[in-house]
Chains A and B, each alone.
Chain A
């Protein structure tokens, strides 16, 4: 399985899980972790910035048009594309410490929520007013960090399995938590 196919599968799975399960859960504070953003960040950290930004753009576009969405098309595409690129830039550093990937995911998730709210308020979206945003963004970043180990773990597991299938002779070719191009 190539990386591209893998990325498509991960994004579609995250998107469907997000709209059918996660968004309907009753979490305290009624804020939900953004699984698609987490998947984009994780894929970018594994695959580097080029694949990261392309993944981000198409994941965002899919989020923009998935049925219950009701905002200006292109907002998520813009935000996820930027986040994918920036997180991809950090990909080579990921081998240094086992904690680093999770810090990067947390930073990426926070930046993503803030950026989305910012684009919304620039477009005059009534949903992105300050009282709502100031309540939602910190909570959402917190939930993202809580949910990130699971998403990162799933993405890693899929990637290493794909790598192992490609060269079945050797041991796991990925030395650290992440392997960057």
Chain B
């Protein structure tokens, strides 16, 4: 007998339990009593993920190399030739070297902007619709919630929850994430809103001033939040790809191509100390040698006299040294 009264009773109880959990967690928000349950999850699953990542890392690395390239066929041919020559050991050595290079670039970026960072590795990624990853550093390494996470290329996201040896990072592409952004070499500010990396357009930039000039090819850096939490200023975010015009809208929206390759994250850095002075555009990579025809090589004209009202989480950039 499959569908007994007992089965239905258990079904009812468990459904009620999950509905109750959803209600409590939803109403509680950041202070919900069920956050303890997540802490429990970090303690239990964190070490397992650590261990599992060490085992499966070459698998993920190899898979990324094959699928991550646009000219896959050409690359596969070349890789096959290479594979014939290289022994297994050599290949592991290459993976390590790539990681070392990433770390080098990361440290270079940190030095350029004056950030103090803790390097970390991504060990797992979020399920379903959310763009989150967990990294292998936690409160034991001085990580606290609301710290900026970056790579050598640019902004990754912010730390949302910290466990003893792992932390959870909300990526900038997540639909629940919004970052204050500023256009390179003009003071136009806006909000960089995640659209979910699965929707095709990873990031959108909402200019607060709908009359401000914005062109494809302009680059965006982070604006910095109050007290440098969660976002420190000056981190490169991406380049403007296209501009969406919505008639009658109060703001103008641009689709942004991020600097960071969000689907292939490996080595990241967590900013534990913000820079003493705002690095402004210093961290941006050198401008491309052949600019796209629509973009003049000279910086855009001086910004309009009055900056629009800044969003709540992003006060005016600080240029004076802090005490």
Residues of chain A whose beta carbon lies under 8 Å from any beta carbon of chain B? 12, 15-21, 23-31, 34, 36, 48-50, 53-54, 57, 60-78, 81-82, 85, 88-89, 91-92, 116-117, 119-120, 123, 125-129, 131-133, 135-136, 180-181
Please determine whether B42 and A53 come into contact, CB atoms closer than 8 angstroms.
no
Give the Cβ gap from A126 to chain B, nearest Cβ, in Å. 4
Contact digits for B15-32, partner A, Cβ 8 Å, 1 yes 0 no: 101111110011000001
B54 — nearest CB in chain A belongs to which residue?
Answer: A20
Chain B contact-residue range equals: 35 or more
Please determine whether A18 and B2 come into contact, CB atoms closer than 8 angstroms.
no
Give the Cβ gap from B71 to chain A, nearest Cβ, in Å. 15
Residues of chain B whose beta carbon lies under 8 Å from any beta carbon of chain A? 2-4, 6-7, 10-11, 14-15, 17-22, 25-26, 32, 34, 37-38, 40-42, 45-46, 48-49, 52-53, 56, 59-60, 63-64, 67-68, 122-130, 132-134, 160-161, 163, 166, 168-170, 174-176, 195-200, 263-264
Please determine whether A73 and B17 come into contact, CB atoms closer than 8 angstroms.
no
Given A67-B163, A127-B175, A88–B2 Cβ distance below 8 Å?
yes
Query: A129 to chain B: which residues have CB within 8 Å?
Result: 175
Please determine whether A81 and B15 come into contact, CB atoms closer than 8 angstroms.
yes
Give the Cβ gap from A3 to chain B, nearest Cβ, in Å. 15
Q: Top 9 nearest A-B pairs by Cβ distance?
A: A65-B41, A74-B21, A23-B125, A78-B18, A19-B124, A74-B22, A77-B18, A67-B134, A68-B132
A-B contact pairs, 28 of them (CB 8 A): A19-B125, A21-B56, A21-B60, A24-B122, A25-B67, A26-B63, A29-B198, A49-B3, A65-B40, A66-B45, A66-B127, A67-B49, A68-B126, A68-B130, A69-B38, A71-B128, A72-B25, A73-B21, A73-B22, A74-B34, A75-B18, A75-B22, A82-B15, A116-B128, A123-B26, A127-B176, A135-B198, A135-B200
Query: A117 to chain B: which residues have CB within 8 Å?
Result: 129
Please pick, from A67, A76, A88, the residue contacting B168 in the complex, using a CB distance under 8 A: A67
Docked CA distance A30–B176 (Å): 18
Give the Cβ gap from A166 to chain B, nearest Cβ, in Å. 21
B40 — nearest CB in chain A belongs to which residue?
Answer: A65
Docked CA distance A119–B56 (Å): 33
Given A16-B52, A21-B59, A85–B11 Cβ distance below 8 Å?
yes
Give the Cβ gap from A31 to chain B, nearest Cβ, in Å. 6
Given A68-B133, A77-B18, A49–B26 Cβ distance below 8 Å?
no
Query: A132 to chain B: which residues have CB within 8 Å?
Result: 129, 175, 195-196, 198-199
Please determine whether A20 and B2 come into contact, CB atoms closer than 8 angstroms.
no
Docked CA distance A72–B64 (Å): 31
A22 — nearest CB in chain B belongs to which residue?
Answer: B125
A51 — nearest CB in chain B belongs to which residue?
Answer: B7
Query: B52 to chain A: which residues have CB within 8 Å?
Result: 16-17, 20-21
Give the Cβ gap from B137 to chain A, nearest Cβ, in Å. 12
Give the Cβ gap from A25 to chain B, nearest Cβ, in Å. 5
Give the Cβ gap from B36 to chain A, nearest Cβ, in Å. 10
Please determine whether A19 and B49 come into contact, CB atoms closer than 8 angstroms.
yes
Query: A76 to chain B: which residues have CB within 8 Å?
Result: 127
Please determine whether B132 and A135 come into contact, CB atoms closer than 8 angstroms.
no
Give the Cβ gap from A128 to chain B, nearest Cβ, in Å. 6
Q: A50-B10, A67-B41, A82-B15 given. 9 additional CB < 8 A pairs?
A: A20-B49, A48-B2, A66-B41, A67-B45, A67-B163, A68-B124, A68-B168, A70-B176, A136-B198
